[in-house]
Structure 1
Amino acid sequence: MTTLSTRRPPSSDSTAVVDTDYPVGPVPRSARRPTLSLVIVVAGFFFYTPTMVTGGTVATQFGFGSYLGLALIATVILAAYIALLAVASARTGLTTVLLSRAVLGRWGGKWASLILGGTQVGWYAITIGILGELVAAAFGWSVSWPVILVGGILMATTAYVGFKGIELLSWISIPAMLILCGIVFVRSMDHVGGWSGLMTVTGQGEMTAGLAITLMIGTFVSGGTQIGNWSRFDRGSTARVFALTAAAVILVQFGMLFFGGIGAAAFGEADFVTLLMTMGMVGAAVVLLVANLWTTNDNAAYAFGVAGAELFERPSKSPFIIGGVAISIVLALTGVADALTGFLVLVGILIPPLGGALIGTFFLAWRGVVPQNGALTGAPRLRLPGVASYLVGAACALASNVVGWGSPALIGIVSATVVAAAFGLAQRSQSTPEPTRIG
C-alpha cells in the first residue's frame, strides 16, 4: 500500500512547520477520532441562523405543507451529497481541496481552493455582518462595526486551535439552540391555532419550487462540500460515516428550515432572532445568535484556512485563517450581508458541480479507492476527466438558472457525476490501474 503526500522533501537548512490538523497531507490512522466527534462538529456547523432566515423567506412563498415538502427534498439531497463526500475523505484522509487536486490536477485543485475558500470567506463576512446588525438592534446601538470587529476576531479562535476547539464549542452551543427552538415552536403553535391552523397558512406564490430548493441547498452546499475537512479524522467504518453524517445533516438542516419556517408562517417574521426579540427574549436572542453563528463561523474559518494551505502549498493553515478573517471583516463592514440571496444563487451554481465531479470520480470511476495515477505528488496540471466533469456540471447549473428550469444545484451535481462516471467507464474499458488508498 502506497502512502501519498504533498509535503516537499526536507532540506538541511529548513525546519518544517508542523500543523497537527494535517492541512496538506492525509491524516494518519493514529490521529483519527471517533465518529461521534465528527457528528457533533457537523451538527454544530449546521446549526446556522441564516439557514433559518432562508427557510423563513421561502416559507412565506408557499403553503406550509408545500414548504415542508420542498424543505425535505432539499435536505435529503444535501444529506446524500455531503455524506458521500464525507466517506471519500474518511477513506483517503484528505481534505476536500486535496481530494480535488487528486481528481482535477494541480491547477484544478487550485480552482477548488479558490472557490471553496473564497465562498467560505464570503460566508464568514455575511455571518459577522448579521451578528453585528442584530446585536446592535437588540441593544439599541446606532453602530454595529465594533461587534463585527470583535466578533470576527473571537470566532476565529476555535478554528485556530483546530478540530478539538470546534468540537468543544459545538457541545456547548447545540443544547442551548435546541431549547430556544423548542420555545419558539410552542409559542408559534399557540399563536397560529395548532397544527391545523398552521397548515391553512398560504404563501405569496412568487417563487418557483426550483429556486426554493436551490436557495435551501445553497445555505450549506459550500460548507457541506468541505465536509472532508472533518470526516478525514474519522476512524469509523464507511457505512457508519455515511449513515451518521447523513442523519446529522437531515436532523439539523431540516430542523433549522422547519423552525425558521414555522416562525415565519405563524408570525410573518422570517428572521428567527428578530422573532425572539419581538417575543421579549432579547437576552436569549443574543446568546443564541453568538453561540449559533460561532459554531458555524469557526468551521468556515477552518475551511478557508486549509484551502489557503493547499492553494499556496504551505504546511500550516494558521496564517490563512488570520488573512481570511481580516478580509471577511472588511467585507462585513461594507454591508455584504445584504447580498445573501444573490450569494446563495452563485454558490448553488459553482460549488455543487465540484462535489459531483468528486463523487462521480471517486465512487464510480475509481470504485472507492484512488489509483496510482491519482497521486497528489507529481500530479499533472489538469486531469481532463475531472475538469471536464466539473465544467459540464457548472454549465448545466448555469443554464438551469438562466432559463429558470429545475434546481441549478441539483442539476450541477447530477450532470457532473454522470460525466465523471462516463469517463471512468471509458477508461476501465481500456485499462485497469492498480488501486491504492491514500493515508
Structure 2
Amino acid sequence: MAGEEKTKSRFDDYSIRPVPKESRYGFYNIFLVFSSVYGAIAVIWAGGALGYELTFSQAILAVISGTIVLAILGALIAAVGSYSGLSTYVMWRFPLGRWGGKIAGLLLITITTGIGWYAVETWLFGIVMSEIFPNNPFFSVGMASIWGGILMIIMTYVGYRMLSFLSYFTIPFHIWLIGIGIAIVLALKGGMPAVFSASPAHETNLLYGISSVIGLYIAGTIISPDIARFAKSP
C-alpha cells in the first residue's frame, strides 16, 4: 500500500481530480509552459506555409486576427480550468454527461490531437532531424520519428512537471532559433524590402489565411484547461 501511494504521488498528475492549491504554479511558469506547448514544430511549419499563399502584409493580418480569436476563446476556457482545477475531459462531464464527455474526448482528443497531431509532430520532428544530420540512419525521418515519439510519450507520462522543467530551456532556444532563421532568410533574400515585395506562389484570400490560423490551433485552445488548471489564479 505504501509503495502504491508513493507511485501515485510521483506520477499522478491529477487527471481526474482538481489540482490542489499547493501544487499550483505562478504566472511566469504558466506563461512558459503555454508558450512551449503552443510553439510546436507544426506551428512554425504552418506559419511558413502562409507565405506561399499570402503576401507579407496579408500573412501578418491573418496571424494577428486568428490569434485574437484564439486568445479570447482560450482565455475564457482557461479561466474555467484555473477556477476548477479540473482537466478538459473531466469538465466535459458537466455539460455532456459522463458518456458524452468520453465520446467528445474520443473524437476531439484521442483521434484528432492524440493520434493525428501526435503523428504530424513526430513526422515533422523526423524531417528536422534528418535535415540537421543528413546521411545518418539514426536521424533518418522514420527512425527519428520513432525515438522522438518515444521521448514525447515519456514526457507526457511524467506530466506537467516535465513540461515545466523543459520550458525553461526550450523557450529561450526556440526564440534564438527563430531569430537566427529570420536573420538568415533576410540576408539571403535581400532584406525586408524583398519580403514586402514578394508575391505568393499560390495566392489566396485573407479569410482563408485567418481560418487556417484558427483551425491550426483551435483544438489546442479548447484543451487549454489542461495547463491552466495548474495556475494559482486565472
Q: What is the TM-score when the length of structure 1 is the normalising length?
A: 0.48
Partner of 1:125: 119
What residue is the counterpart of 2:31 in the other structure? 39
Q: Residue 201 of structure 1 corresponds to which residue in structure 2? A: 198
Aligned partner of 1:88 in structure 2 is 80
Instruction: Name the residue aligned to 1:177.
Output: 174
Equivalent residues of 2:87, 2:225 under 8 A apart: yes
| SS of residue paired to 1:210 | helix
Aligned to 2:224: 227
Do the aligned partners of 1:51 and 1:216 also contact (CA within 8 Å) in 2? no
Aligned 8 A contact 2:25 2:230 in 1: yes
2:68 is the alignment partner of 1:76? yes
- CA-atom RMSD, angstroms? 2.1
Range moving further from structure 2, 65-74 or 147-156 = 147-156
* 1:52-84 Cα shifts (integer Å, max 9, x gaps): 211111222121111111111011111111111
| 1:116 counterpart residue number | 109
Q: Distance in 2 between matches of 1:229 and 1:39?
A: 13
1:213 shift after superposition: 1.8
2:53 touches 2:202 (CA, 8 Å); kept in 1? yes
Counterpart amino acid of residue 181 in structure 2 = V
User: What is the CA–CA distance in structure 1 between the aligned matches of 2:85 and 2:171, rounded to whole Å?
Assistant: 27
1:86–1:231 contact (8 Å) kept in structure 2: yes
Aligned residues: 223
Name the residue aligned to 2:215. 218
Q: 1:66 aligns with which of 58, 65, 74?
A: 58
Deviation at 1:166, TM superposition (A): 0.8
Aligned positions of 1:10-409 closer than 5 A = 18=8, 20-114=12-106, 115-121=108-114, 122-137=116-131, 138-141=133-136, 144-236=141-233, 238=234
Determine the C-alpha separation between the residues in 1 that align with 2:143 and 2:105: 30
Higher gyration radius (CA): 1
CA distance in structure 2 between the partners assigned to 1:220 and 1:107 by the alignment: 25
Unpaired stretches in structure 1, ≥5 consecutive residues: 1-14, 239-439
Measured in 2, the distance between the counterparts of 1:183 and 1:149 equals: 28
Contact 2:25/2:231 (<8 A) preserved: yes
**Mapped partners of 2:209, 2:58: distance in 1:** 11
Query: What secondary structure, in the 3-state scheme, does the structure 1 residue paired with 2:17 have?
Result: coil
Q: Is the 8 A contact 1:58 1:67 kept in 2?
A: yes
The structural deviation recorded for 1:90 is 0.3
Q: Could you tell me which amino acid in structure 1 is paired with residue 134 of structure 2?
A: F
CA drift at 1:29: 2.0
> 1:24 aligns to what SS in structure 2?
coil
Q: Which amino acid in 1 is paired with 2:113?
A: Q
Alpha-carbon distance in 2 for matches of 1:184, 1:55: 13
Cα separation, 2, equivalents of 1:181 and 1:54: 14
Deviation of 1:205 after TM superposition, in Å, equals: 4.8
- Note closer, same or farther for the CA distance 1:42–1:207 as it changes in structure 2 (3 Å cut): same
CA, structure 1 residues 192+132, in 2 after alignment: closer, same or farther (shift >3 Å)?
closer
Which structure shows the bigger proportion of residues in helix conformation? 2
Unaligned runs of 5+ in 2: none
Percent identity between matched residues is 26
* Aligned-pair CA distance for 1:21: 1.5
Structure 1 SS opposite 2:92: helix
CA shift for structure 1 position 178 = 1.2
CA 193–136 in structure 1, closer or farther in 2 if over 3 Å, else same: closer
